[in-house]
Amino acid sequence: MTLKLDNVSKTYTLGAFSGKTLRAVRNVSFDVRPGQVVSLIGESGSGKSTVGRMILRLTSITDGRISLDDEDITTLRGGDLKGYYRKVQGVFQDPFSTYNPIFRVDHVFENIRRSYFPGVALSEWTGRLETSLRSVNLDPGLVLGRYPHQLSGGQLQRVLIARALLLDIKILVADEIISMLDASTRIDVLNLLAELKARGLGIVFVTHDLSLGNYISDTTVILRYGAVVEMGATEKVFGDPRHAYTKSLLAAVPQLHHRWEDEGFGDTSMPVELPTARGDAPKLTAVEPDHLVAG
């Protein structure tokens, strides 16, 4: 069940008549295989969340092709799209926005039941819910029947993962799912993702935090202004970065036991690269097996 992105692009038109376009994502290609975690790493404006949304078909794809197991999902609609969501699901950044605040958290499960398991008896369904919640280390009794504001961010995110697991998903898109959580809960959710990966789930891990990406991913894709600048096996990209941007990113990561080495302040050019002035993505060349660099 491989998810394949082939030259995917997203272009927004600004205003009805201005003719200006914003190329948010440019020619991005990568694969996600079962049991593989792919990190999409980038700063704000890099297009990483847009890629995640395109995989989830929440944003339309302007150019290129996304396929799951060779089946083109780029323009699926209606029942076919619903079927796609049985295999691919997502969790977002802000747990308190992902839940409809006027309903209990059970509502997210109810929606799944109504869409995909209408015939299942209530007792059987409750059993499945409990199994799913336990598999994400949550006690069903402490979670079911509660309102979102009564639970912590970590619990809410894990409930969403449990929801996704009710379907037999192959790919999970995790878009900055831990950036709003406490340090300790972050680790727990990360470790959970690693466990799920070991059980065969493919994960697209969107983040701006390099150390998190490094912790659990097998493959790393570095995005800048919508285009891939470097990608490959995580140890190769982090261990032997070739692109100037990757190097500056790594040099900027604050670490406990190393001080920043250089003296600069970071990107100081002005004006900032305008998103409307972007050309085609630079071509990627392989510098070694499983390690591609732009330019």
Partner 1 sequence: MTVSGKDEPPPRPLAPATPAVAALPAAVAPVRRRNEALYYALRNRKLVIGFTIVLVFLLIAIIGPSFSRHEPLAYDGPPGIGPSADYWLGTTMFGQDIYSQFVSGLRASFLVGLFGGGLAAIVGMFIGFIAGYRGGIVDEILSMLTNIVLVIPTFAVLLVVAAYLSVRGIGSEAVFIGFTSWPWAARAIRSQTFSLTSRDFVDMARLSGRSTLQIIFGEIAPNMSSYLLLTFILLFGGAVLTAATLDFIGLGPTNGISLGLMMNYSVMNAALQLGMWWWFIPPGIAIAAIVGALYVMNVGLDEVFNPKLREA
Partner 2 sequence: MLTVDNLSIAYRALSGDVLALKNASFSVADGEIMGLAGESGSGKSTLGRALIKLDNRMRHVSGTVSLDGETLPIDDDRAMIPYRFKRVSIVPQYAMSALNPTRRIGRMISELLTSRGMDFDKLRPELERRLLLVDLPVEVLTRYPIELSGGQKQRVVTVISTLLNPSLLIADEITSALDVSTQKAVARSLVEFRDRGFIKSAIVITHDLSILAQMADSILVMHGGRLVERGSVKAIVDAPMHPYTKHLIGSLPEVGVRYADRKLAGVSGLNAALEAMSSPDGDRDRPLREISPGHWVAAWGQA
Contact between 157 and partner 1 by CB under 8 A: the answer reads no
Task: Kindly state the smallest distance separating residue 205's Cβ from partner 1, in Å.
Answer: 17
Contact between 225 and partner 1 by CB under 8 A: the answer reads no
Helices (H) and strands (E) in the chain, counts: 11, 12
Stretch that binds partner 1, among 32-40, 88-96, 227-235, 256-264 (CB under 8 A): 88-96
State the pairing for strand pair 291-294/71-72.
unpaired
Q: Are 184 and 98 in contact (CB under 8 A)?
A: no
Can you tell me the distance from the alpha carbon of 163 to that of 84, in angstroms, rounded to the nearest whole number? 16
| Cis status of the peptide bond prior to 271, with omega within 30 of 0 | yes
Residue 27 CA: distances (Å) to CA of 10, 66, 145, 219, 272: 9, 12, 45, 18, 22
Contact between 102 and partner 2 by CB under 8 A: the answer reads no
Task: Kindly state the smallest distance separating residue 35's Cβ from partner 1, in Å.
Answer: 22
94 alpha carbon, distance to own chain's centre: 13
Number of Cα atoms under 13 Å in the Cβ half of residue 272: 6
Out of partner 1, partner 2, none, what residue 54 binds, judged by CB under 5 to 8 A for its kind, is: none
Q: What is the largest CA-CA distance in the chain?
A: 64
Out of partner 2, partner 1, none, what residue 121 binds, judged by CB under 5 to 8 A for its kind, is: none
Q: Are 112 and 164 in contact (CB under 8 A)?
A: no
Out of partner 2, partner 1, none, what residue 44 binds, judged by CB under 5 to 8 A for its kind, is: partner 2
| Tokens read off for 239 | 């261990």
- For 228, the enclosing helix (H) or strand (E) is strand 227-233
Stretch that binds partner 1, among 24-32, 65-73, 81-89, 128-136 (CB under 8 A): 81-89
Contact between 142 and partner 1 by CB under 8 A: the answer reads yes
Task: Kindly state the smallest distance separating residue 189's Cβ from partner 2, in Å.
Answer: 8
Nearer to partner 1, 55 or 237 (CB): 55
Q: For 208, phi and psi rounded to 5 degrees? A: -105, -5
Out of partner 1, partner 2, none, what residue 75 binds, judged by CB under 5 to 8 A for its kind, is: none
Q: Are 10 and 47 in contact (CB under 8 A)?
A: yes
Task: Name residues contacting partner 2, limited to 210-229 (CB under 8 A).
Answer: 210-212, 214-216
Contact between 194 and partner 2 by CB under 8 A: the answer reads yes
- State which of residues 50, 89, 157, 220 lies at the interface with partner 1 (CB under 8 A): 89
- State which of residues 13, 115, 276, 285 lies at the interface with partner 1 (CB under 8 A): 115
What does the binding site for partner 1 look like in residue numbers (CB under 8 A)?
56, 58, 81-82, 85, 89-90, 92, 94, 96-103, 108, 111-112, 114-116, 139, 142, 147, 149-155, 160, 180, 182
